[in-house]
């Protein structure tokens, strides 16, 4: 009996109960989010709304949004998910549960591959950095005025309004900045500044779409904003990046 049990595979972590259904039509304005699970104030329940499969893949496989290669509906079909999380679930278990959920309900199958592409090095600009050291005593939720036409920023995070963006972080490493820039620029970004520590980051820019259609100067591109406002520069070069390639995925989930 002991010999036969020794070779048995450990059961794969799974949610105790799961409901997956398409989100109702959202219209022009809607919120997207996911709360609960290990490390949250509600570790026993997971609730996601207007959540795309790409969002789930990012959480389950620890990749960035732009590292996902697959059909368009991964980003355009949205779902509501409610799941009961077993007590004692770790973050690794939780990601395994999300992978199993997608395999069971969407028949998801993936593989990794490395592709040659343009990448960016984030370096210090010629005039030197224009960075303010993080102040632990500062009020992170204070208002941070931006020029007219840009969204209001009153706390850490990013906001978009009519093709213009703003971002504020009270305590941000440049590694974190490089990770945030990657999905914005759709290219890998490596922190090559050599600068350690945490900084206050305040950025504002105009999207490429707005810059292509505007009849007057809409504002700086994100790359130009990084250089002018932070004293950092994005240098393009050839490199490689890992991608998560979706081999199979059903657009409609299996019945609950």
> Would you say how long the chain is, in residues?
256
Q: How many angstroms separate the Cα of 80 from the Cα of each of 17, 21, 93?
A: 14, 5, 21
pLDDT digits (tens, 9 = 90+) for 26-82: 554 456 788 999 999 899 999 999 899 999 999 999 988 888 999 999 998 999 999
Alpha-carbon distance 146 to 69, whole Å?
35
Mean local confidence (pLDDT), 148-168:
89
The four Cα atoms 40, 46, 47, 50 give a dihedral, to 10 degrees, of 100
Residue 8 has pLDDT above 80, yes or no: no
């Amino acid at each position: 009996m002991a010999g036969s049990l020794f070779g048995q595979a450990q059961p794969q972590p799974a949610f105790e109960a799961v409901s997956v259904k398409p989100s109702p039509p959202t219209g022009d304005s809607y919120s997207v989010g996911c709360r609960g699970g290990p490390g949250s104030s509600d570790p026993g329940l997971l609730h996601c709304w207007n959540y795309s499969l790409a969002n789930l893949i990012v959480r389950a496989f620890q990749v960035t949004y732009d590292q996902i290669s697959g059909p368009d509906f991964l980003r355009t079909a949205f779902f509501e998910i409610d799941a009961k999380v077993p007590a004692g679930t770790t973050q690794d278990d939780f990601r395994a549960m999300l992978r199993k959920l997608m395999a069971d309900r969407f028949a998801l199958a993936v593989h990794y591959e490395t592709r040659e592409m343009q990448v960016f090095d984030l370096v210090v600009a010629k005039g030197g950095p224009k960075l303010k050291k993080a102040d632990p005593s500062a009020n992170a939720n204070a208002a941070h005025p931006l020029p007219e036409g840009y969204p209001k920023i009153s706390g850490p995070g990013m906001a978009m309004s009519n093709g213009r963006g703003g971002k504020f972080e009270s305590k941000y490493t440049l590694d974190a900045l490089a990770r945030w820039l990657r999905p914005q620029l759709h290219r890998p970004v490596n922190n090559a500044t050599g600068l350690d520590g945490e900084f206050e980051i305040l950025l504002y820019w105009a999207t490429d779409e707005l810059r292509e259609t505007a009849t007057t100067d809409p504002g700086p591109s994100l790359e130009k904003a990084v250089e002018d406002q932070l004293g950092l520069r994005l240098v393009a070069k050839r490199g490689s990046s890992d991608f998560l390639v979706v081999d199979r995925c059903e657009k409609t989930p299996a019945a609950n």
